[in-house]
């Protein structure tokens, strides 16, 4: 038996690497971020190392472009001249769009690897320590639920792939069943994850409750959402006072505000483990990265800029506007002063800019170790306020106001004694700008309301160096705005994706 345990890590890795892409064939592309022995962090068993890798590797292309393109640009938070994003800016995304395809494949890569890890753990359940077994299954189901949550909100009906080695051409399942599947995975995670994280940045029962609360909110299940959030509030998570450190300071990753974040690792010799956002966000020509990247692809829309209230402390940490000074950027040269000439919208984003290799030892070309936060405590507070609002136009509920005003107080803004629906969603737009949330927030408002809002957003640009001559652009989305098309490459490989969705067999 002792010899068997010595061989177990090798056997596990061989098994993993031999089946890791089995359930991915219908995507017309293998999971491009497959695990290899060199990817595995140290753990009690190889299962623990594989579970840790799921916090970053399979999410890479989802984070690289898709999250911001769908969550922000598609909804009017960001402007660009880059042709790759043009369809998102104009809210007319086609099935051939490469960014759309990359995100779809990445999310199914998460599902694929979650299923593979569960299959391996189930096959060796008797040999594994109970804690490692439970953690492998719970982490897998948590990650799979999050991937499906993005898929169903973006594409609508998608195939439920519940096991490694499933049929290569699954049919789509009805939306209701996809949400039921998500809930079951998250409920399992709540019951089997540890109460507190075993390592900084790892998820736990509370995190799973927070994600499940957002699922309930998405489905207008307000009482269920509020009940779960009441179990989260006042516990191990809280707001941090320095808003900017959550996005531009890797040493402050996994703060008390961060519940679930993608755990990026900038390694000079590896690709696919890092956060690439800085490369796309840094103002072109500013020299902030000290390298060949920094292209200013994403620019804050004029509409987003106009929604900031006077005195909002989040503004300078979210967007750069004319005259803003950042001593921490280009620090060896005395800091960086932003000028509006850098951008056709007279501003650039500040979030997710870390700096240069001259200032940090964890920055390389298109690589930083800055986490991407998926769920943070301010979201918990604003979700609670929204659940208490319960689809109404306004409320004076004390609990809702306390949660909402806690976010505003941190931002340096006056508290409110009446919470309106418009106030809440405007607060969310500002609080989570460039975090991939705005499209999904609009979707919760309903199609007619969302179209009315988007069609009034100024998403044009200034044509002169003084940034005074506006080339106005307004976008009016179509009736299919809330469901992006499935990638054509997936349909070509699996024509059944064009058939009407079917119920899922939960037996």
Domains of the chain and any CATH numbers: 2-30+44-261+485-498 (1.25.40.390), 383-471 (no CATH)
Asked whether the predicted pLDDT for residue 40 surpasses 50, the reply is no
Confidence of residue 6 (pLDDT cuts 50, 70, 90): very low
d(CA 320, CA 284): 13
The pLDDT assigned to 45 comes to 62
Q: Stretch 180-201: mean pLDDT, rounded?
A: 95
Asked whether the predicted pLDDT for residue 463 surpasses 80, the reply is yes
From the number of C-beta atoms within 10 Å of its C-beta (0-12, 13-18, 19+), residue 5 rates as exposed
At CB < 8 A and 24+ separation, what contacts does 422-431 make? 424/382, 424/385, 424/386, 424/389, 426/307, 427/382, 428/382, 429/77, 429/304, 429/307, 430/307, 430/308, 430/309, 430/312, 430/314, 430/318, 431/314, 431/378, 431/379, 431/382, 431/407
Asked whether the predicted pLDDT for residue 313 surpasses 90, the reply is yes
Q: Stretch 91-109: mean pLDDT, rounded?
A: 97
Q: Stretch 228-248: mean pLDDT, rounded?
A: 97
Asked whether the predicted pLDDT for residue 412 surpasses 50, the reply is yes
Confidence of residue 485 (pLDDT cuts 50, 70, 90): very high
Q: Stretch 216-241: mean pLDDT, rounded?
A: 97
17-26, 162-171, 283-292, range with the lowest pLDDT = 17-26
pLDDT in tens, 50-88: 788 899 999 999 999 999 999 999 999 999 999 989 999
**What angle do the packed helices 205-218 and 377-389 form, to 10 degrees?**
40
Length of the chain: 507
Asked whether 127 and 38 are in contact (CB, 8 A), the reply is no
Q: Stretch 18-47: mean pLDDT, rounded?
A: 44
The pLDDT assigned to 335 comes to 97
What pairing do the DSSP bridges indicate for beta strands 336-337 and 299-300? Answer: unpaired
Q: Which residue has the higher pLDDT, 373 or 33?
A: 373
Confidence of residue 24 (pLDDT cuts 50, 70, 90): very low
Q: Stretch 464-472: mean pLDDT, rounded?
A: 98
Asked whether the predicted pLDDT for residue 38 surpasses 80, the reply is no
**What angle do the packed helices 205-218 and 175-192 form, to 10 degrees?**
160
Supply the mean pLDDT for the chain. Answer: 91
Asked whether the predicted pLDDT for residue 17 surpasses 80, the reply is no
């Amino acid at each position: 038996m002792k010899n068997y345990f010595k061989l177990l890590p090798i056997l596990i890795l061989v098994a993993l690497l031999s089946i890791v892409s089995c359930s991915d064939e219908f995507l017309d592309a293998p999971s491009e971020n497959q695990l290899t022995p060199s990817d595995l962090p140290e753990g009690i068993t190889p299962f623990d190392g594989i579970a840790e890798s799921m916090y970053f590797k399979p999410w890479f292309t989802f984070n690289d472009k898709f999250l911001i393109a769908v969550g922000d640009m598609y909804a009017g938070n960001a402007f660009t001249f880059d042709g790759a994003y043009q369809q998102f800016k104009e809210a007319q995304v086609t099935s051939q769009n490469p960014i759309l395809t990359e995100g779809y494949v990445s999310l199914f890569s998460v599902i694929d690897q979650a299923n593979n890890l569960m299959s391996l753990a189930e096959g060796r359940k008797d040999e594994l320590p109970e804690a490692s077994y439970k953690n492998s299954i719970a982490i897998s189901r948590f990650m799979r639920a999050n991937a499906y949550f993005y898929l169903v909100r973006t594409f609508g009906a998608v195939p439920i792939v519940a096991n490694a080695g499933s049929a290569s051409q699954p049919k789509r399942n009805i939306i209701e069943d996809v949400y039921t599947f998500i809930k079951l995975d998250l409920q399992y995670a709540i019951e089997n994850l540890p109460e507190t994280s075993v390592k900084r940045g790892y998820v736990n029962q509370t995190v799973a409750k927070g994600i499940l609360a957002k699922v309930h909110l998405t489905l207008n299940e307000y009482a269920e959402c509020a009940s779960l959030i009441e179990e989260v509030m006042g516990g191990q998570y809280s707001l941090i006072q320095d808003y900017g450190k959550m996005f531009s300071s890797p040493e402050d990753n996994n703060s008390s505000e961060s519940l679930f974040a993608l755990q990026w690792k900038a390694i000079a010799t590896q690709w696919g483990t890092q956060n690439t956002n800085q490369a796309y966000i840094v103002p072109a020509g500013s020299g902030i990265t000290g390298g060949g990247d920094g292209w200013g692809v994403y620019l804050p829309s004029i509409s987003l800029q106009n929604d900031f209230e006077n005195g909002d402390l989040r503004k300078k940490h979210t967007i750069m506007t004319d005259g803003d000074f950042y001593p921490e950027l280009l620090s060896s040269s005395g800091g960086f002063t932003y000028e509006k000439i850098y951008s056709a919208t007279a501003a650039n984003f500040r979030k997710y800019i870390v700096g240069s290799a001259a200032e940090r030892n964890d920055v390389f070309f298109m690589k930083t170790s800055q986490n991407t936060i998926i769920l943070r405590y301010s979201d918990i507070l604003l979700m609670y306020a929204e659940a208490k609002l319960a689809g109404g136009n306004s409320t004076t509920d004390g609990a809702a106001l306390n949660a909402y005003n806690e976010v505003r107080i941190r931002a340096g803004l006056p508290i409110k004694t009446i919470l309106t629906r418009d106030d809440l969603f405007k607060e969310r737009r500002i609080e989570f700008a460039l975090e991939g949330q705005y499209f999904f927030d609009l979707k919760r408002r309903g199609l007619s309301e969302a179209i009315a809002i988007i069609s009034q957003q100024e998403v044009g640009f200034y044509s002169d160096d003084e940034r005074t001559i506006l080339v106005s652009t307004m976008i009016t989305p179509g009736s299919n705005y809330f469901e992006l098309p499935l990638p054509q490459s997936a349909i070509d490989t699996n024509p059944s994706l064009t058939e009407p969705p079917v119920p899922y067999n939960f037996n």
